[in-house]
Structure 1
């Protein structure tokens, strides 16, 4: 019933088009405007994929100005059944060390200026009001695939994690960082929301590979978060994330997703007040 196509949303430093074979570029527009960049169409082990640089390929778009709705809509229109997202995160827990991989399973939203639904009442947009359940926040079946491949690759992974998404582009104050720790959040980033929300509203199986790059600023000793520290950790660990992506894509394609995708579409339909 469904033909698998995997969208890959690359975060900072994690959007290398060389992971795709037989690449072509496609510029698209959507009812919500233009996505962050051209779509890169290609294949991983014969599986159709679409790569999109979240911040643009020159990293010229700050987190609050990313057109999340256009990004997700463009991937949906291109036929993506899945989205594997990568994200740079600050660790809020001592045991989640810089360089560690976390497969997210929940989020806390601390953004305040981002549009989080396609159902906004504007002309040519979906009709209705969508009160979408967000538990589970991420696709559990897709998360399981990511966990399987990390173990097979002998990559140490934290199997669950809650990310608090802040507005940015500034980093947190120490007081804010300590508050997020008191909420038992594991990581802090700037892009998980509304991406995860919109993907679910689009009935796309969405999972996120988070790379911890620093300890934010809550620790009394050691390095505080900085751009140079983040970039250094990227360079040391980008191959790890790339290996997870390229191993997960064919594994996803081997499975039947009909019931999962049908269930997700029905959940969206049943959440629309006008349906």
Structure 2
């Protein structure tokens, strides 16, 4: 077993980070080309062939996510290289997850730099530790890495979602059966129709201010002012005039006749 070489391990970590980034960019370019091919198949109506290609595309996307995780772990080991450089039989808790994940997942990649880094870590921590990591004892490997490594057939719903997004991205009219957006679109059309049905009722009942006469306190418009100028002035309202002091001093004619008659009745009684 070769001795631990800190400088060589650090160089190998940096090389692994660079190669992981390059491989991710390469796979992203390949994924774009694959999506374009799938869109062409959908446009030609070859849905089954497109579904097969989508399943392969999903596996590639998961693999790219695994590469991203391994790149993150390599950068973490570089940042905490002091903990990695300790002379111990097991890694420190601060770098244990990264070491275990690289040892366990590196064989699933095609990067020689990552394979060399894995050998360096296995030689540092010994055979027993390496076997325990490969068997994932005590769940030492990250759950995220284990999910990316697990190979399973994508569900039909996930495949349909990929196909729908690809068709939408390339402006191709294709929707999977029992798609939720179609149901929501129908519901939206119904709602818009009900709104349209409500508009005539709103126009009849909503704005009735035009049908109401203006209040007396509101100023007239210009036409009303012109008509008011042409009309004659209204006579003042009738008010009963109060009697003055001079008129109250002189007796009224009705009262004088009454006094005269009263005097005549008195004279007749005396006779």
TM-score (norm 2): 0.21
Larger radius of gyration: 2
TM-score (norm 1): 0.21
Structure in which a larger fraction of residues adopt strand: 1
